[in-house]
Amino acid sequence: MAKSIIIIGAGMGGMAAGIYGQMNGYETQIFEMHTKPGGQCTSWKRKGYTFDPCIHHFFGCKPGSSVNQMWHELGALPLELVNIEECTAVASPDGKMFVDYYDLERLKNTLLKLSPADSKMIEQYIEAIKAFANNKIDDAISSGSFWKMIPIFFSMPSIRKWIKMNMRAFAERFSDPFLRKAFAQLVYSNPDGPLFFHFMRHVGGMNGDIRWPVGGAAEFAKSIERRYLALGGKVYYRSRVEKILVENDKAVGIRLADGSEHRADIIISNADGRKTIFNMLDGKYINETVRGYCAPLSDETPFAVNVCLGINRDLSGEPSSLVLLLDQPVTIANLKHENIEAQLYGFDKTMAPMGKGTIKVELPARYSYWKQLYNDDRERYKQEKQKAAEQVIEILESHFRGIKNQVEVIDVYTLMTWERYMGGTQGWFNLPNRKLDFSMSMKEDLSDKKFKTTLPGLSNFYFVGIWATAMGSLAHNANSGKTIIRRICKKDGKGFEAQT
């Protein structure tokens, strides 16, 4: 008789575990608290506009890469994809704009036009990108595994000097004041972001590995759900898991919020790690390492407040990502901002009605601020969301003249929205507290193998998804599901299979 697997959560890791489980002869069931698949890989419509909080840069589009192979196995590809021309664009209040084009010749000409005096540094930038465009690095990136990247990075002198540097330090090498400000913002407006990630992303855009799935995250997740169902898997929505049943230190099933119990040989959690450990398992299976991973994360969280706008304006000629530098800092939701970053979806005609456009502005914020507002004063919480939208629109008006009167739809969601939607402990940012420090010894930080997607003292249980990877990308989360099924197959003494 085939072994049975229960999977908690229809996020990317959970669905991948279900698909590979079905391929390898296991009987899988997914229990999802929400009404649709994808978890954080989601999007929704408002009056014809699609708002997507998930996908920024979709890796795995290049045929022949391991991630591309995985997307085909999961049924996510083939899917209509759109080429993106630039990594990020940055605009100053005085009208200057730097577009970080993927095409290196176009990029070089753009930079030289902005600052001929920085020609030597510009040449270094172009050569560094070329150095990262290496087949070995490309394969490591495509694998979704940092373990493969580390030895490659440190074995190549041409890229070794860039590994420990962040965007701020790199930006300071330019003499032009605008370029110094612009380069510091190229990794999701985070000056402390790792420089090597920017180069990896640049290479992905150059070689066609980064593209955009038409329709956004929800359509992407639905294609994976169809693959799972076609393989005979079962998914139950509106089915919140409250407890993981344990007998003799073995996970044997789950109890739902409605009181029903369901049993299986193996339990896999794609749910929030802290909720799984302390609520579903009553905190019985922890040690000091796991306790450390469950420690609270930084109060200031990226992408904490999202202002989505439906605009009666054609955005097809605009860059896909635009950072607007501000003349003076602006305080939004009790946090000071010197710039804002907008995603402009003019490249995908399905994201808005004909001739119109969708904009998403993601703002860092303090979790505690929004949590207290939401708990103590719900009306003020709503007012603060509306005020954030008004401030963002005012800033956009300085660059897109007339846009204030073209706004047709406003949708603001916060970390509290994610908590309601996902059931996490800190909004969407519910990864383990592993304290990766890319500015220090990345090789040392990423070599911590103590946390292996299991819990001490508990058998027949595994984590997948963001808690298992601590990375958060779609590819990493999906690969975690594949990895766990491969491990289960090995434990059961059977070969692992994967078919497109």
Are both 220 and 262 inside the same structural domain?
yes
* DSSP labels, 102-116: SSHHHHHHHHHHH-G
Give me the phi and psi of 141, to 5 degrees please: -60, -45
- What is the spatial distance between Cα 304 and Cα 365, in angstroms, rounded to a whole number? 5
Single residue among 402, 422, 442 that ends a domain in this structure: 422
Single residue among 209, 241, 276 that ends a domain in this structure: 209
Are both 278 and 183 inside the same structural domain?
no
Single residue among 399, 422, 445 that ends a domain in this structure: 422
Closest CA to 358 of 369, 344, 338: 344
Per-residue model confidence as pLDDT tens digits over 146-205? 556 666 666 667 777 888 899 999 999 999 999 999 999 999 999 999 998 899 889 989
Instruction: Give the pLDDT mean for 250-255.
Output: 98
Per-residue model confidence as pLDDT tens digits over 27-70? 999 999 999 999 989 999 999 999 999 998 898 898 888 889 99
- What is the spatial distance between Cα 90 and Cα 68, in angstroms, rounded to a whole number? 30
Are both 402 and 305 inside the same structural domain?
yes
Whether 429 is in a domain gets the answer: no
Q: What is the pLDDT of residue 153?
A: 63
Whether 428 is in a domain gets the answer: no
Q: Is 420 exposed, middle or buried (0-12, 13-18, 19+ CB in 10 A)?
A: exposed
Are both 169 and 317 inside the same structural domain?
no
Are both 242 and 190 inside the same structural domain?
no
Tokens for 498, please give them.
């994967």
| Averaged confidence pLDDT in the chain | 90
Q: Which domain holds residue 123?
A: 97-209
Are both 128 and 192 inside the same structural domain?
yes
Closest CA to 125 of 178, 173, 177, 57: 173
The tally of domains found in the chain comes to 3
Are both 233 and 332 inside the same structural domain?
no
Q: Which of 207-221, 346-360, 393-407, 423-437 has the lowest mean pLDDT?
A: 423-437
Q: What is the pLDDT of residue 147?
A: 57
Are both 164 and 199 inside the same structural domain?
yes
Scanning 6-134, the segments in alpha helix (DSSP H) are 12-23, 66-74, 104-114, 119-132
Q: CA Rg, the chain, in Å?
A: 23
Whether 88 is in a domain gets the answer: no
Asked if 416 and 381 touch (Cβ cutoff 8 Å), the reply is yes
